[in-house]
Amino acid sequence: MNAQPLGNFPLRTLTHFLLGLVVVMATPAFAEGPSPSDDEDRSGSHFAGIPLEKPTDRPLSAAAARLYDRWGPLADFGNEFYTTFKYSRLTGIGKDPEVSRRDPSKVIRVGDTYYVWYTRRKTEHAPVGLRNYTDDTPDDVPAWDWDLADIYCATSKDGFHWQEQGVAVARNTGGDYADRSLSTPDVLCVNGKYHLYYQAFTGRFSRERGDRCDVSMAWADSPDGPWHKVNRPIIELGKRGAWDGGSIHDPYPLIYKGQIWLYYKSDVWLVDASGDFLDRLDAPNAPRAYHRMHGVAIADRPEGPFVKSPLNPIANSGHETCLFPYQEGIVSLVIKDGPEKNTVQYAPDGLNFEVKATVVQPPVAGGPFCPDAFAGNGDGRGICWGLSHVVGYGPGFLLRFDCDLHRDIDRSPLKQGTIQADEAGHFQPRTTLPEGLRRRFAEEAISSREETVNIHIEPKVDEANR
């Protein structure tokens, strides 16, 4: 990433940008083009027709004005918050038909070892889905991928090859608190101790309870454990009718401004006038009626009490949480759900986030390697890799992502363009038109009476003035 001042557009980056462009042009896609040498004077360079300063001598379209007011005339190349994402398979905790691994924590490094924690499920039966889960479903049959799971730990020396170390925090036994499943952990290192926050499910599933669970915590003196469970909720579910009354998921702790900031996600349900959840929008075949948003709760101690920000929700979109300190503020990768899905956002105060870049195929449930996640020094350096997951196609599995969101590490080749899905990408299960809809749309096309309009227009400009 090019280190740039926030707020105003960074002209200082031109040289840096152009050096980055040289690197980009050296990548295979550019191998045949001329490659400018590093020492050529590039000052004053700009994209053709787009001067570096906002023109005042002519009208600008709304889009052209936005280029200056919001993005900067170097667009993606000059935007420190823009990145593409590249993915790699992992050994040790990668794809496995027998085991689901998902929702990785941040990656931390202790000595020369990288650590990650994640949800791990190994069950004889595949998940049946909440809709098919009844009172008769046997106890050893999971409702979904993160049911009947425990929190596991893996370590690595290089971030690609991992060794599963075994269970870190196990669910309790039948009848006790958190006896059903533990999932979606994230880690906090503070005062020489390690803390894992995670989702804790108690008792059997039901359609009414859905994905509601507690967020609980365990602590240890070493990342290798042993872990001591507090065995109680660490943050309260919102009151009936509140935006976070439906669930609290994806707890994600950072140290910020001398306190523990626990970001989280909630499924925000459609409710009726009395605050009761409605399952669907009021239309035939409408999808389940919930939206997703993020909030934050702040505490002085890892065990709480956590006080929710009065500004919650602080993100109007997003699914799993993935945030990191950046300069004096916090960056959030907002993915998957909501009107601001697939954006990189920045809040100079950790609370008031603005969209800074739109990205394609961001890591799902990303857990970045972020050594300064708990430094709390108001000078966040950013991230350039981490682990994420692929779920929804059999057991979940972990993979690695790389990106260009670090102030000190130049990965400008990752600022180049975006991906375009190939044939397999277009015809993957979720983007192939289902047979039923295909028949319906074909019928619509055949029976349609709509013909393309072809009107006659009178010339408005006088021939003489042409």
Residues that bind ligand AAL (CB under 6 A): 103, 146, 183-184, 199, 211, 249-250, 265, 319-320, 365
Minimum Å gap between C-beta 280 and ligand AAL is 20
Burial class (CB in 10 A: 0-12, 13-18, 19+), 268: buried
Minimum Å gap between C-beta 321 and ligand AAL is 8
Q: Residue 72 or residue 362: which is nearer to ligand AAL going by CB? A: 362
Contact yes or no for 162/156 (Cβ under 8 A): yes
Minimum Å gap between C-beta 212 and ligand AAL is 9
φ, ψ dihedrals at 130, nearest 5°: -60, -35
Q: Residue 180 or residue 265: which is nearer to ligand AAL going by CB? A: 265
Minimum Å gap between C-beta 141 and ligand AAL is 18
CB atoms inside a 10 Å sphere around CB 19 = 17
Q: Residue 255 or residue 364: which is nearer to ligand AAL going by CB? A: 364
Tokens of 299: 């505490």
Q: Residue 180 or residue 319: which is nearer to ligand AAL going by CB? A: 319
Tokens of 305: 């009490």
Half-sphere exposure of 98 (CA within 13 A, CB side): 1
Minimum Å gap between C-beta 186 and ligand AAL is 11
Q: Residue 200 or residue 405: which is nearer to ligand AAL going by CB? A: 200
Q: Which residue's beta carbon is nearest to the bound ligand AAL? A: 184
Tokens of 141: 């049959």
Contact yes or no for 444/436 (Cβ under 8 A): no
Minimum Å gap between C-beta 102 and ligand AAL is 7
CB atoms inside a 10 Å sphere around CB 55 = 13
Render the burial of 138-170: b for 16+ CB within 10 Å, e for the rest: eeebbbbbbbbbbbbbbbbeebeebebbeebbb
Q: Residue 24 or residue 200: which is nearer to ligand AAL going by CB? A: 200
Minimum Å gap between C-beta 146 and ligand AAL is 4
Report how far apart the first and last C-alpha atoms of the chain are (Å, whole number). Answer: 49
Question: Which residues lie below 8 Å from residue 116, measured CB to CB, with a gap of 6+?
Answer: 93, 104, 105, 106, 107, 153, 154, 155, 156, 162, 367, 387, 398
Q: Residue 250 or residue 402: which is nearer to ligand AAL going by CB? A: 250
Q: Residue 74 or residue 217: which is nearer to ligand AAL going by CB? A: 217
**CA dihedral sign of residues 81, 83, 85, 91:** negative
Residue 233: name the closest of 283, 164, 305 by CA. Answer: 305
Minimum Å gap between C-beta 369 and ligand AAL is 20
